[in-house]
Homo-oligomer: A and B are copies of this chain.
Amino acid sequence: MLAIVSEPGFSLEELQLAARNHGLPLETLRDAITPVGLHYLLIHFDIPQVDAPAWRLRLGGRVERPLELTLDELRARPAHTHAVTLECAGNGRALLSPRTVSQPWLAEAIGTAEWTGTPLAPLLEEAGLLSDALEVVFTGLDRGVQGGVEHAYARSLPLTEALRADVLLAYAINGRPLPSQHGFPLRLIVPGWYGMTHVKWLAAVDVVAEPFRGWQQEDAYKIHRSEDDPGTPVTRMLPRALLAPPGIPDFMSRSRFLVAGPCALVGRAWSGWAPIERVEVSIDGGARWTDAALDEPLDEYAWRGWRTTWDARPGEHELCCRATDAAGNVQPAEAAWNTGGYCNNAIQHVQVTVS
Interface residues of A (CB under 8 A from B): 7-23, 25, 27-28, 30, 35-39, 41, 43-47, 49, 94, 101-102, 104-106, 108, 143-147, 150, 179-182, 245, 248-254, 257
Contacts and interface: CB of A to CB of B under 8 A. Distances in A.
Contact of A248 (B43, B46, B251): B46
B249 A145 contact: yes
Contacts of A8: 9, 11-12
Contacts of A25: 20, 43, 46-47, 181
B248 A108 contact: no
Contacts of A23: 19-20
Contacts of A10: 9-12, 14-15
Given A18-B15, A36-B36, A249-B145, A27 B9 contact: no
A196 B160 CA distance: 52
Most buried by B among A13, A105, A150, A250: A250
Given A25-B43, A49-B30, A15 B146 contact: no
Contact of A106 (B7, B16, B47, B257): B16
Nearest to A257: B145
Contact of A105 (B7, B19, B28): B19
A136 B16 CA distance: 37
A106 B18 CA distance: 10
Nearest to A254: B16
Contacts of A44: 251
Contacts of A245: 46
A43 to B, nearest CB: 7
A253 B13 contact: yes
- 7 closest pairs, A vs B, by CB? A9-B9, A22-B22, A37-B37, A18-B18, A146-B251, A27-B46, A10-B10
Given A16-B253, A19-B106, A38-B181, 20 more contacts: A8-B12, A10-B14, A10-B15, A15-B15, A15-B18, A15-B104, A20-B22, A25-B181, A30-B49, A35-B179, A35-B180, A35-B181, A36-B36, A36-B37, A37-B37, A37-B182, A38-B180, A46-B248, A46-B249, A102-B252
A259 to B, nearest CB: 11
A144 B181 CA distance: 31
A51 to B, nearest CB: 13
A47 B35 contact: no
Contacts of A144: 248-251
5 contacts: A28-B47, A28-B180, A37-B182, A45-B248, A150-B248
A251 B15 contact: no
B106 A15 contact: yes
Contacts of A11: 8-10
A252 B146 contact: yes
Contacts of A257: 145, 150
A84 to B, nearest CB: 18
A13 B252 CA distance: 6
A14 B182 CA distance: 26
A103 B25 CA distance: 15
A105 B136 CA distance: 40
Nearest to A16: B254
A198 to B, nearest CB: 16
